Structure 1
Amino acid sequence: MFLTIGTTGTPERPATDLGYLLHKHPGKAQTFSTSHGTAHVFYPEASAERCTAALLLEVDPVALVRRGKGKGRGGAPDAALAQYVNDRPYAASSLLSVAMTTVFKSALNGACRVMPERARETLPLRIEVPALPARGGTELVHKIFGPLGWTRVDAVAVPLDERFPEWGDSRYVRLVLEGELRLADALRQLYVLLPVLDDAKHYWVAPDEVDKLLRAGEGWLADHPEQKLITSRYLSRRWGLTRQATERLELVRLAESDDLEVESVDNAVDETTDTEERPVPLAGQRRAAVLEALRAAGASRVLDLGCGQGQLVQALLEDVRFTEIVGVDVSMRALTVAARRLKLDRMGERQAGRVTLRQGALTYTDKQLKGYDAAVLSEVIEHLDLPRLPALEYAVFGSARPRTVLVTTPNVEYNVRWETLPAGHARHGDHRFEWTRAEFRAWAERVAARHGYAVEFVSVGPDDPEVGPPTQMAVFTMTAADGKTAARGKTAAGAKTAAAGSTADGPTGNGPTGNGPPGNGSTGNGSTGNGSTGKEAVGDKAVGDKAVGYVAVGIGSTDDTTIRNGPADDGSAGNEPAPHTPADSGPAHKAAADSGPAHNNALANGEQTRSAPADGGPARSAPAGDGQTPHAPAGDGPAPNGPVGDGRPAAGRTTARETTKEGRAA
């Protein structure tokens, strides 16, 4: 597919000014990627007297077939010849028009910052199209290009086979145009008239094609004698769109004849007469609140997690600032309805490139969901069983980690204001729970603290002074710049400084361990002594990119074990209790070694874990990074404490995986 644009010049006004107007350097060959292939721009000749720019479009036939599936796509007249063998890669068509908007966008708009006055002037242009499909023959070509100011319109029919002239001519012509026109006007005419002569488009004609036609046809289409044919063919004979375009072109013609603005002509309807305000449904208010929060966060790439039937995706598509929108839902039926609502099979090519619908469960991590600016969970969490909620929390906040997360959920306190909702019933039959404002706030603050986010709360809908709004929204904003926990900067990276002055490593033996001078914060190495009633310290364990402290405490011989966990972006220990796991009997845990002192594991914020009993001597404690760590009573041996280093248990220290069968249940 080939097109050349040439001009002539003088030493005072060289022809190479064409390079400035096209924004393409005459001394370079440039390549551009398009949706169906690759476009090349180069200059066969470039001198002060004559300059010619060539646009060569290489169409990928496989991509054309794949992207052309579905009603209204790939509708070229010869596409039925064969799936991968047809005239589309060679004949000038709507594919070339779309490539022109990509390669010569500034020239089409008549913009040139370097030579603005030259862009407003007419040039002696020569345009050649070697293979142009023309349904209507050379006669139609002259009817269309003749009234547009070209002094020469040369259209020569291409024979089917030069060796067999009796076969006649094909529907393709060699087109040569010469005349004095503005470069922008010439490119706009080609953009509209190439698919008009071909009488086909490779993409579905959406309503926004009317605006494209009027923009490209400004100044010449309203008064063109073949306006109806051009409008009908460009809009693929869609009667509704053709009528709309014709009416607007008529307004343009009337305004130009009276030297008025179009708005002053089309003033028969007073828009202020309809002043009745209609209440906005709660779903609409919720979408408006989400859109406002996304705009405030500056998000452009957005995940709609649990997109359902695509209402929010549709609203996001209407705002051009959202350049990439991904809707995820576990239900294929819902995604099918969403695709039908969005009319994906009929959507324009550029618009369709902004949206993706994917099937996926939100309780599982997905690497493809990482790196987005924002994620929205609109009325989603209440559809999960509470035991499954932590999995969703980690998948979104721990794995995907978007910069901003919006979560909306019903406020159960407001249910008393719904007259048709029976007392004690949820708003939807699939709601597994509905939270009060206090419950939602507590959950959101806990998730934010665990995963390194700050959280704010927004009321959605009318805010009742007694029961609050019908919908509550939490806006989570990531606090760590790199998406990692603060433990990297405070706990792990600060392992050498956070516990300055702690006890240094001591030798391991059956007797008491000697105390060394203050070390650099590394964990002491010592074997844990046996004790049937002792308490065992377990160090920090890194989970994903989160530092989570686990403390297992065995009491007496009943193995009544409590696990305390807590994510720590700030290095602090958690305080959320897990259920106790009783065991039968016997000592709480079996130590990993027979004798020697145990080392306490002090957390970075000064909170202490407890040490296992040793064989003899009093227990001693070492200070943590930011405060003195109290020590727990031990057996008969000294047990110098050591601070947490990189989150791994010290050598010789008993971990939860090294416990006995009874302790492993904890």
Structure 2
Amino acid sequence: MLLTITARRSEALATPSDLGFLLHKHPDKVQSFGVYAGTAHVFYPEVGAEACTAAVLLEVDPVALVRGRSGRSDAFALGHYVNDRPYVASSLLAVAMGKVFRSALNGHCVGYEELVQAPLDLTVTLPAVPGEPDLVRRLFTPLGWDVQAEPIAFDATRPQWGAAPLVSLTLTGSVRLTDALSHLYVLLPVLDEVKHYWVGRDEVDKLLRAGDRWLPGHPERNLVAHRYLAGQRDLRESALARLAELDDRTAEIAHDTAASDAALAPRPLVRLRHDAVLEVVRDLAPVSIADVGCGSGSLLGGLLKVQGVARVIGTEVSDIALVKAATRLNVDSMTERQADRLSLLRSSLMYEDERLADLDMAILMEVIEHVDPDRLPAVVRNVFGAMRPRHVVITTPNAEYNVHYPALAAGDFRHPDHRFEWTREQFQSWAHSVAGTHAYQVNFLPVGESDPQVGPPTQMAVFSQSAPVEVSA
């Protein structure tokens, strides 16, 4: 029985190996834990600069599951000894997760509190899960996951036998790790109707504790309660009544305090940056936009929603990033009209690309600081000379603001892949030089709350063409 959780490098998780801190399991070690009916092994098959993968391998002894049980007339039935329990993710795996990832499941990680609360780019894989594809999608899709549930054949050599009641499951999404674990902890027993433990009244409390953040508003909460509690009507009704109270209380709090919460709750810098860029887009009203260096496509979805934008292009040098962007945007399920508005292109900032010519706007959001300084002039020539969009929007970190990050040593950069980080004076000097050379005007905007001494966390330059281009004969 196997589960893998992959965290990819992102703005929230600059160092993917920090997954080890969040899970409280060291990436350089293989650790084993005795659990009900077997042994759980935790190890890391992948630890790199771009991604980190943690795996749980649960070894189950099917004989041990029935050994010692009495009062059952079928105690020696063949099905107890020859079954799929060691291989199919089930309530056994959920119980093992509750033991080996208890702190992560509860959202505890001293020193990494901000990371605990941050959505991470996660991929969860389970080679064999009980349930039909439609049921699996109904359970996980409302929780923000992109769900791939592929049926598994009973026997690949006997296609006439059809599919087994199992799927190979891959979940992809931007989700807090603690939420991802709670989704699995609750929904694996829901999919597995063959519980290996006694379901009593304490299971209602366990269900509500594990699912309190998301279950009250889940469209299938009745089904979840029914199956998690093994169809016991009195337990199900008790759980649903308490879930309804939680849902009502959540709605009441949201209604009464929405205004004050909006004013008081700090927004993540990445969201502030997106909002600031989208505000510029709405003000300048471009019809065609290229998000150059779009990464996993976090901005593209917002651009597609801006009224009047007819064409959106996302470019990256990495095929993996483009695949992630397509997954994030659900490209496969787009209508033909929606798909016609979006293009995901493999392209490098260093080289001219005729597909990016004659656009209204190019956006380089947190891109230039990833370019070696001696190669930056080539990027400028390409963007402002060859592409020459009517507007260019560039954001980059403000190095002066780094004093507000206590964990950042003096002179260090916010991201290990940054080649430089500029002060406001350095950025504005560079931007004025670029604008003067290529006949643009430039304005500067702060992103995030400005400190009177060191300025905002992110700085933005908005370039607009100020003169026609002279074309030589």
Give the TM-score, by structure 1 length: 0.37
- Aligned with 2:249 (options 246, 255, 260): 255
Q: How does 1:4-19 map to 2 (within 5 A)?
A: 4-9=4-9, 13-19=14-20
Distance 1:196 1:82 in 2: 21
Change in 2 beyond 3 A, CA 1:67/1:35: farther
Distance 1:218 1:108 in 2: 13
Name the counterpart of 1:273: none
Paired letter, 1:144: L
Change in 2 beyond 3 A, CA 1:50/1:245: same
Matched, 1:236 2:240: no
Task: Determine if contact 1:200/1:233 at 8 Å carries over to the other structure.
Answer: no
Name the counterpart of 2:130: 133
Distance 2:200 2:69 in 1: 15
Name the counterpart of 2:95: 98
SS of match in other structure, 1:202? coil
Name the counterpart of 1:199: 193
Task: Determine if contact 2:109/2:116 at 8 Å carries over to the other structure.
Answer: yes
Matched, 1:123 2:120: yes
- Aligned with 1:226 (options 220, 224, 242): 220
Which one has a larger percent helix, Structure 1 or Structure 2?
Answer: 2
Task: Determine if contact 1:68/1:203 at 8 Å carries over to the other structure.
Answer: no
- Aligned with 1:83 (options 80, 85, 94): 80
Paired letter, 1:30: Q
Name the counterpart of 2:63: 62
Distance 2:20 2:94 in 1: 20
Task: Determine if contact 1:10/1:48 at 8 Å carries over to the other structure.
Answer: no
Change in 2 beyond 3 A, CA 1:69/1:111: farther
Name the counterpart of 1:143: 138
Task: Determine if contact 2:8/2:52 at 8 Å carries over to the other structure.
Answer: yes
Distance 1:232 1:68 in 2: 26
Question: Could you report, residue by residue, the CA deviation over 1:237-265 in whole angstroms, capped at 9, with x for unpaired residues?
Answer: 1111111001100111111111189xxxx
Question: Could you report, residue by residue, the CA deviation over 1:383-422 in whole angstroms, capped at 9, with x for unpaired residues?
Answer: xxxxxxxxxxxxxxxxxxxxxxxxxxxxxxxxxxxxxxxx
Post-superposition shift, 1:67? 5.4
Distance 2:211 2:239 in 1: 11
Post-superposition shift, 1:153? 0.2
Post-superposition shift, 1:30? 0.5
Name the counterpart of 1:658: none
Task: Determine if contact 2:10/2:121 at 8 Å carries over to the other structure.
Answer: no
Matched, 1:111 2:108: yes
Change in 2 beyond 3 A, CA 1:260/1:156: closer
Post-superposition shift, 1:62? 2.3
Question: Could you report, residue by residue, the CA deviation over 1:35-57 in whole angstroms, capped at 9, with x for unpaired residues?
Answer: 21100000001012110000000
Task: Determine if contact 1:7/1:125 at 8 Å carries over to the other structure.
Answer: yes
Distance 1:10 1:143 in 2: 28
Question: Could you report, residue by residue, the CA deviation over 1:350-370 in whole angstroms, capped at 9, with x for unpaired residues?
Answer: xxxxxxxxxxxxxxxxxxxxx
Change in 2 beyond 3 A, CA 1:241/1:17: same
Change in 2 beyond 3 A, CA 1:38/1:153: same
SS of match in other structure, 2:7? strand
Matched, 1:246 2:240: yes
Of the two structures, which has the highest relative contact order with CA contacts closer than 8 Å and spacing of 6 or more?
2
Question: Could you report, residue by residue, the CA deviation over 1:305-326 in whole angstroms, capped at 9, with x for unpaired residues?
Answer: xxxxxxxxxxxxxxxxxxxxxx
Post-superposition shift, 1:206? 1.2
Distance 2:157 2:27 in 1: 39
Task: Determine if contact 1:68/1:202 at 8 Å carries over to the other structure.
Answer: no
SS of match in other structure, 1:184? helix
SS of match in other structure, 1:90? coil
Once the two structures are aligned, what percentage of the paired residues are identical? Answer: 53
Task: State the superposition RMSD in angstroms.
Answer: 2.1
Give the TM-score, by structure 2 length: 0.51
Distance 1:3 1:228 in 2: 27
SS of match in other structure, 2:128? strand
Paired letter, 2:139: I
Question: Could you report, residue by residue, the CA deviation over 1:296-355 in whole angstroms, capped at 9, with x for unpaired residues?
Answer: xxxxxxxxxxxxxxxxxxxxxxxxxxxxxxxxxxxxxxxxxxxxxxxxxxxxxxxxxxxx
Aligned length: 253
Distance 2:93 2:3 in 1: 9
Question: Could you report, residue by residue, the CA deviation over 1:120-160 in whole angstroms, capped at 9, with x for unpaired residues?
Answer: 111000000001111xx11111111110011x200000001
SS of match in other structure, 1:255? helix
Distance 2:6 2:169 in 1: 14
Question: Could you report, residue by residue, the CA deviation over 1:428-482 in whole angstroms, capped at 9, with x for unpaired residues?
Answer: xxxxxxxxxxxxxxxxxxxxxxxxxxxxxxxxxxxxxxxxxxxxxxxxxxxxxxx
Q: How does 1:470-549 map to 2 (within 5 A)?
A: none
Post-superposition shift, 1:220? 1.0
Matched, 1:161 2:155: yes
Change in 2 beyond 3 A, CA 1:58/1:149: same
Task: Determine if contact 1:20/1:114 at 8 Å carries over to the other structure.
Answer: no
Post-superposition shift, 1:80? 5.8
Paired letter, 2:109: C
Paired letter, 1:224: H
Paired letter, 1:50: A
Task: Determine if contact 1:128/1:176 at 8 Å carries over to the other structure.
Answer: yes
Task: Determine if contact 2:36/2:92 at 8 Å carries over to the other structure.
Answer: no
Change in 2 beyond 3 A, CA 1:70/1:236: farther
Change in 2 beyond 3 A, CA 1:231/1:70: farther
Change in 2 beyond 3 A, CA 1:61/1:128: same
Pair member with larger Rg: 1
Question: Could you report, residue by residue, the CA deviation over 1:519-567 in whole angstroms, capped at 9, with x for unpaired residues?
Answer: xxxxxxxxxxxxxxxxxxxxxxxxxxxxxxxxxxxxxxxxxxxxxxxxx
SS of match in other structure, 1:186? helix
Name the counterpart of 1:25: 26
Distance 2:5 2:120 in 1: 11
Distance 2:54 2:100 in 1: 12
- In structure 1, stretches of 5+ residues that fail to align are 262-666
Change in 2 beyond 3 A, CA 1:89/1:6: same
- Aligned with 2:205 (options 204, 207, 211): 211
Change in 2 beyond 3 A, CA 1:57/1:69: farther
Post-superposition shift, 1:223? 1.0
Post-superposition shift, 1:166? 1.2
SS of match in other structure, 1:259? helix
Distance 1:125 1:231 in 2: 26
SS of match in other structure, 2:67? helix
SS of match in other structure, 1:139? helix
Change in 2 beyond 3 A, CA 1:56/1:67: farther
Distance 2:65 2:245 in 1: 38
Q: How does 1:546-625 map to 2 (within 5 A)?
A: none
Task: Determine if contact 1:153/1:176 at 8 Å carries over to the other structure.
Answer: yes
- In structure 2, stretches of 5+ residues that fail to align are 256-473
Change in 2 beyond 3 A, CA 1:86/1:214: same
Distance 2:86 2:33 in 1: 16
Paired letter, 1:59: V
Name the counterpart of 2:358: none
Change in 2 beyond 3 A, CA 1:129/1:89: same
